[in-house]
Amino acid sequence: MSKCQLYLISPLDVSGAFPQRLERALAEGPVAAFQFRVKEMDQHEAARLAEPLLAICRDRDVAFIVNDSIALTKRLGADGVHLGQQDGTVREAREALGRDAQIGVTCHASRHLAMEAGEAGADYVAFGSFFPSSTKASEHRPEPELLAWWHALMEIPSVAIGGITPDNCLPLVEAGADFLAVSAAVWGTDEAEAIKAFHQRITGG
């Protein structure tokens, strides 16, 4: 059985019935983390939308990670923050959020950025986009060998991201990805069936 786990990323629109969709997805088996990813929204509105989702994740022991914003992470008392290359440093996040916060860093296809993040104290590094993604445009297209290299050398977990579906995820799992970050493949369809399909692929069931 693979130790690879699912890391669920929210769609940009988490209003309306989205909390119920999140509950349905999480009911279909273990998800390690949920990333709250909204763009161009003021912090008050983002916090209002995040709070019910945070409660759902807490009930199911799913880590709640905020995309980009150290300030919103602190305001919510979330479990951690995911930093892009322009979103502040690991050191700034650690100082603001404390030693128990989970801090992840986008490293694209760069071994150098990943090593730097690890040395700075990141809790995980994210590589991608492995496949064309409808969620976020990326000119970076790493190969699964990058995951294998990282897995062989480093203790810090890796997250594979970008266009990952149940049909294409297996090479990433086999290369040693610790987490698969998935979004459109779940929210663009029946979320419960999608989570079930990912689990079947990851575990070989």
Using CA atoms, how far apart are residues 129 and 108, in angstroms rounded to an integer? Answer: 7
115, containing H or E segment: helix 111-120
pLDDT of residue 2: 59
As given in the structure block, the two tokens for residue 194 are 């999608």
User: Which DSSP string do the residues of 119-141 spell out, in sequence order?
Assistant: HHT-SEEEEE-SS--SSS--S--
In the chain, the domains with their CATH numbers are 5-203 (3.20.20.70)
pTM of the prediction? 0.96
Using CA atoms, how far apart are residues 118 and 9, in angstroms rounded to an integer? Answer: 22
pLDDT of residue 139: 79
pLDDT of residue 120: 97
pLDDT one-digit tens code per residue, 78-133: 999 999 999 899 999 999 999 999 999 999 999 999 999 999 999 999 999 999 98
Percent of the chain scored above 70 by pLDDT? 99
Rounded alpha-carbon distances, angstroms, from residue 128 to 44, 184, 197? 30, 15, 21
Per residue, what are the HEC states of 148-203? HHHHHHCCCCEEEECCCCCCCCHHHHHHCCCEEEECHHHHCCCHHHHHHHHHHHHH
Helix (H, G, I), strand (E, B) or coil at 104: strand
Environment class of 112 (CB within 10 Å of its CB; exposed 0-12, middle 13-18, buried 19+): exposed
- Confidence band, pLDDT 50/70/90 cuts, at residue 136: confident
pLDDT of residue 1: 38
